[in-house]
Amino acid sequence: SEWNLHLYQGFWYFSTTLENVFYLQENFNADPTDILICSPPKSGTTWLKSLSFAIMTRNRFDESSNPLFKAVSHECIPHLESDFASGSFSRDQELKLLGTHLPLNALPKSVFIENCKIVYICRDPKDLVVSMFHFAKKFPWPIFSFERTVERFCEGRSYYGPYWDHVLEYWKMSQEKPENVMFLKYEDMKENTLFYIKKLAEFLGEPFSQEEEMEGVPEKIMNMCSFENLSNLEVNKTGIHREGSAVEIGNNAFFRKGEVGDWKNHFTQKMKEKIDQTTQDKLHGSGFTF
Ligand code: A3P
């Protein structure tokens, strides 16, 4: 079926993605100023990209003309697996941001040679798999039951999975090279959004000035990129993601609930025990917890 996954270098991919990954690994030359926004799918990518884009472009656009109001953030920032391989890739020299779902070990080598900065976001695996399950429904193919989705997820069989391996690789690098890797959790960002927006701006090399703080610029960016605001934009209600591509989905597929703890409405006790055990086994000895 369309959900057939292929294992490559320890991670699972759709066949179409895999071709692009080969191409990327062979041909992508990172610039030292590139900043990669890396994430497993459904971890909060749309939000992190929006925030990063809003931070980087805050002096380029006034509050009404920002491209974020006219296109979902995935289209404001090039995505390596799709845009680079399709040849429609070009860098915005002022922006420097690039998105990817690739695991660390699959990133093109030049990313490390050029010492590129990386911002990573991850999320409680229970909420992530719930998000993934609902996202799958947006595609024109039959889906697995939620129970089966969780089982497969625990076996590592999810696109760009095993999820825990994806997280641990980036987490380890963030411990070794904190100046290169900023490691974020969706739950922390939800709880302390403003704090992380400021941290993110610093890491991206565009810290807020005192004057900007006084003017409430970080708050404006927070509000601009909130789930409520973005999900209610016309473009995100009715727009099509990658219009004209083989599989079109609505931009609204990227906005569902935007909450922490929705897993409680989906998991049975047995399923919860299974995923928690998997998490415990996978993270054992790593020093990392969700
Ligand atoms: P839910 O399905 O739990 O609602 P990704 O962007 O990596 O595909 O992740 C999608 C998840 O992020 C979805 O989670 C979605 O609702 C949530 N999300 C999208 N935009 C958001 C925002 N601005 N703030 C918080 N969460 C957001």
**Residue tagged active-site, from 74, 79, 101, 241:** 101
What is each CA distance from 133 to 17, 103, 273, in whole angstroms?
19, 21, 18
What per-residue confidence (pLDDT) applies to 128?
98
What per-residue confidence (pLDDT) applies to 2?
62
Please enumerate, as own/partner, the contacts of 265-271 that have beta carbons within 8 Å and a separation of 24 or more: 266/130, 266/133, 266/146, 267/126, 267/150, 268/147, 271/147, 271/150
Q: Which residues of the chain have pLDDT under 70?
A: 1-2
Active site residue 134: no
210 C-alpha to center of ligand 1: Å? Answer: 30
42 C-alpha to center of ligand 1: Å? Answer: 7
ipTM above 0.95, yes or no: yes
CB-facing half-sphere around the CA of 189: CA atoms within 13 A: 25
Ligand 1 contact via 207 beta carbon (within 6 Å): no
Neighbours of 105 (CB within 10 A): 11
pTM of the model: 0.97
Helical residues (DSSP H) of the chain, grouped into ranges: 15-27, 45-56, 73-76, 85-86, 110-113, 125-136, 146-154, 163-176, 186-191, 193-203, 210-215, 217-224, 227-231, 234-238, 269-283
Ligand 1 contact via 47 beta carbon (within 6 Å): yes
Return the ligand 1 atom nearest residue 41 CA: 7
